[in-house]
Amino acid sequence: MGNIRYSIRLFSLIFAALIFNSLSPLSVNALEKTMTNSIAMEFVLIPGGTFKMGSPQDESNRGRNEIEHQVTISKAFYMQTTEVTVKQWRDVMGKRFFFKKKGTDHMPVVKVSWQDCIDFIEKLNTLNEGVYRLPTEAEWEYACRAGSISAYAWGKTIDCNNAMYANNTLKTDLCVSFAESKGLPTDQPAPVKSYQPNVWGLYDMGGNVWEWCQDWDGPYGKDAVVDPKGSSSGSDRVRRGGSWYGPGARCRCANRNLSHPGNRYQTTGFRLIRVAE
């Protein structure tokens, strides 16, 4: 009798799994692993999954707004492998928008407001090469961690070899000498891909420039959530990742930052998501 019940239960589980798979979105295995558009923006496929967002209470330099909670990203998406570069900005926005965006082609574009990013996305989407948008804060941290549960994607601590930070001769100069030894400029970010990527192939998720996210700034809850999009309104938008200007602690995966969406800082740029079809 016990064997019959076990067989029935096993059959039920298998049948349920088959039904679920038939109703699921397109398998990640059917999607291209990488993608490059006509203006050389490179994207890598990030699979959906579940992770702990925020930081544990014993993490060094954690902020009070980093309440640890479970987040599920239900669908795969493409994340740009680098920040949007000066050349990519120029190619989309045109020369008349370029005079304020100085730097060589492969530098991350900076001094862009959140609204500037939205304007860029709207023009990029008119190319009909896919649908682009800013990442949510949850998607950004999920991609930054790349499966890691430590303070940084590469481990518990940070040094000048890991990321571009503290490259500020007037204030936070810990990594100035290291940057000079690599032939990198001081008092500004590095060209994209100057440091090693995380295990998912994403460069500069920690350091170089802050990156705008889609979300309004708001507090976390403690409950498990699926595909959170932050507060429905607010006065500030989320920035993530740290920058060349500040200390290494700001490059932690869980570190949160905010700014008025109209601000344009020399420390702030962005990267995009391309929707996986």
229 vs 154: CA distance, rounded Å:
26
**136 lies in some domain:** yes
* pLDDT average, residue stretch 135-142: 98
**211 lies in some domain:** yes
* pLDDT in the model for residue 74: 98
* pLDDT in the model for residue 30: 79
**17 lies in some domain:** no
* pLDDT in the model for residue 117: 98
pLDDT of residue 24 exceeding 50, the answer is no
* pLDDT average, residue stretch 46-62: 98
**22 lies in some domain:** no
* pLDDT in the model for residue 18: 35
* pLDDT average, residue stretch 135-147: 98
**119 lies in some domain:** yes
Considering Cα of 245, then 248, then 254, then 255, what sign does the dihedral take?
Answer: negative
| Model pTM score | 0.88
Give phi and psi for 118, each to the nearest 5.
-65, -40
Total domains, the chain: 1
pLDDT of residue 13 exceeding 60, the answer is no
Percentage above 90 pLDDT, the chain: 85
Task: Judge whether 277 and 255 are in contact, CB under 8 Å.
Answer: no
Which single residue is written with the structure tokens 């100035």?
A: 176
**19 lies in some domain:** no
**5 lies in some domain:** no
Neighbours of 144 (CB within 10 A): 25
* pLDDT average, residue stretch 214-218: 97
Q: What is the mean pLDDT of the chain?
A: 90
Q: 163: domain CATH number?
A: 3.90.1580.10
Residues of the domain holding 270:
31-274
* pLDDT average, residue stretch 221-238: 96
**224 lies in some domain:** yes
